[in-house]
Structure 1
């Protein structure tokens, strides 16, 4: 347990706890000797979460007895006590990635463990045979089977009646996670992620503007945000039309989804520019016309609104990637990156993203 008193005047104490789990996520014991580390999360990575864990093993005390870094996992939790009320915020279940560095010194052994979240299990698992699904196969059922056949049992996927519109296939060696995310994208779902409890999740994509606000970063008497922040704007390459076509299949006509920006209030629209600037995506997977239409609209929204990125520092909060928040500027934004040091006195940083209104 890494612990210290935080902001004593406010009556707040905090600690980081690291629990050792089996490769089935069954609790074994608290992991002793942990002195620090870090976690980072990025919404644009297939394996979103990672980090490091550092331990000090004193001479004569085998804190790591029975730990198998090739199989065991760790659950990392932030524990806070505010005016006598205890809170626990889980931050994920992780496994060792790459080489564990052990270095002897006069006082014992220093250990550094590189970490990745549980989606790495499915990313590292290249299928041994050609994988194919026939026409009219239930997509969510196929995803669940891919997870289970990858040796994983903890998942929670939103049910769906969507079925494959054409036969689909992937060659041997394709990462299991790639197939899963291709199938989820075909029905308009979010990419698979491992949540703070280590459960695999995916659900229908919701436009950022429609997501419920999870935190308000605006200042005030109870502000948890550092006063310094800055915004950066990217407005290059803005299209006003997006065309998405599905893969061609023998005997099945491809679907075409088109979304156009005709809003005269938008600086990037056809009405303002007087010309079309088109982006095209060919070979998309979509199970229906409704899905491909929605995909075109989403692509246009994401590419035709210049992204504003805003990094903020704040106290440790129970926010996850994709959560909607109100930024210090009062805008509706989404968490796309996070970085946390496993130090009770440390602030965490989040990068927020918003889009200009089209």
Structure 2
């Protein structure tokens, strides 16, 4: 029996990044049953499925009988976080088809189904010599609808609400299913903002820069395919969402692990300067400038390295509060660089976006706090691969 019990995500509370344990369509099960299927059941059967869906996430048809296999992957630091690889025995309308893979886990008594995100399909590799013919399909995060260039210079006037502008962009790009946390609904642009016409100016860039300016993390899509916008919260301040331990009856971890430590260019002092209040006074510390020094935390600190390595960033921020929240995103990411753990586990389709975990692993310490940044889940029930960063 483990001495540590994580606070599993049982609702869609703001800080949850893993799938809530009893999210639909398994909302008829209690949390203990779902955990037992994932971790404790002595034998389970893994199933795979695929839904063809509309842009408002309604099911057109379940096409699971045409799904031969595949995998779903997520890289939380990538521009488009989710991808999938699917092998199909049926042609779809490739330029516009939107699909949602899922996994089922059953022990013969109970069964749970886990949605695995919504993906636009690309033009596939068609294997004509096989019978039946197959199509090897790459799928891209539903966020891909925001990845197209704006096609013209885009401007937002001073006094416009950041969140209202984000919502207007989502609606203009055809999104109807999204959740926008209204914590900073009061924040407005202090001066006009213009994005020039060039190939790097994409709707996703505009949305993420607007969100960053009020201390929100980048937009992401959830397991159902809904888009989500919410304030950034430091991983160390979030409750653990899953425990990987080495208990004889509860361990899900493969014994083979890779550990990487990279301290080379990690900074230990950060200076952030607010650059978008063009009509205001020159920025000073505490009013347009935020500086933070890591004096003694970990191997990249000033104390550990014996020198100061400074990183200076000029950013757009609604106010000093947003500047400090935006700075914390970068500081946290830079301080996570040194230790990365790569390993495999039995399938855990609850994983999603920047999951907050605890792992009992000798290489990083007993009951160490980690954040999941990268994973791949084979749909056939094979081992799931992960990349975790220590906190």
C-alpha distance in 2, partners of 1:224/1:204?
32
Q: Which residue in the other structure is 2:243 paired with?
A: 216
Matched residue count: 336
Contact 1:76 1:92 in 2 (8 A): yes
Q: Does 1:85 align with 2:110?
A: yes
Instruction: Kindly state the Cα deviation for residue 191 of structure 1 after the two structures are TM-superposed.
Output: 0.6
Contact 1:339 1:349 in 2 (8 A): yes
Contact 2:81 2:220 in 1 (8 A): yes
Q: Which residue in the other structure is 2:172 paired with?
A: 149
**2:93 partner SS:** coil
Q: Does 1:351 align with 2:379?
A: no
**1:182 partner SS:** helix
Q: 1:340 to 1:108 in 2, by over 3 A?
A: same
C-alpha distance in 1, partners of 2:293/2:343?
34
Q: Which residue in the other structure is 1:59 paired with?
A: none
Q: Does 1:184 align with 2:215?
A: no
2:292 equivalent among 259, 275, 286: 259
1:143-186 CA-partner distances (Å, limit 9, x unpaired): 11111100111100111222212211112352111100011111
C-alpha distance in 1, partners of 2:304/2:353?
34
Task: Give the alignment of 1:201-280 within 5 angstroms.
Answer: 201-220=228-247, 221-248=249-276, 250-253=278-281, 254=283, 255-263=288-296, 268-270=300-302, 275-280=307-312
1:236-281 CA-partner distances (Å, limit 9, x unpaired): 2233321011225542244211112234x65554456665331101
Q: Which residue in the other structure is 1:308 paired with?
A: 339
Q: Which residue in the other structure is 1:129 paired with?
A: 152
1:268-326 CA-partner distances (Å, limit 9, x unpaired): 544566653311012x1111012212333443343246521111211221111211111
Contact 1:259 1:297 in 2 (8 A): no
TM-score under structure 2 length normalisation: 0.80
Q: Which residue in the other structure is 1:18 paired with?
A: 50
Q: Which residue in the other structure is 2:7 paired with?
A: none
C-alpha distance in 2, partners of 1:290/1:143?
20
Contact 1:20 1:72 in 2 (8 A): yes
Q: Which residue in the other structure is 1:116 paired with?
A: 140
Q: 1:143 to 1:84 in 2, by over 3 A?
A: same
Instruction: Kindly state the Cα deviation for residue 235 of structure 1 after the two structures are TM-superposed.
Output: 1.4
Q: Which residue in the other structure is 2:81 paired with?
A: 48
Contact 1:70 1:96 in 2 (8 A): yes
**2:176 partner SS:** coil
Q: 1:293 to 1:82 in 2, by over 3 A?
A: same
Contact 2:372 2:387 in 1 (8 A): yes
Contact 2:191 2:279 in 1 (8 A): no
Q: 1:286 to 1:30 in 2, by over 3 A?
A: same
1:192-220 CA-partner distances (Å, limit 9, x unpaired): 11111000002111111112211111111
Q: 1:138 to 1:30 in 2, by over 3 A?
A: same
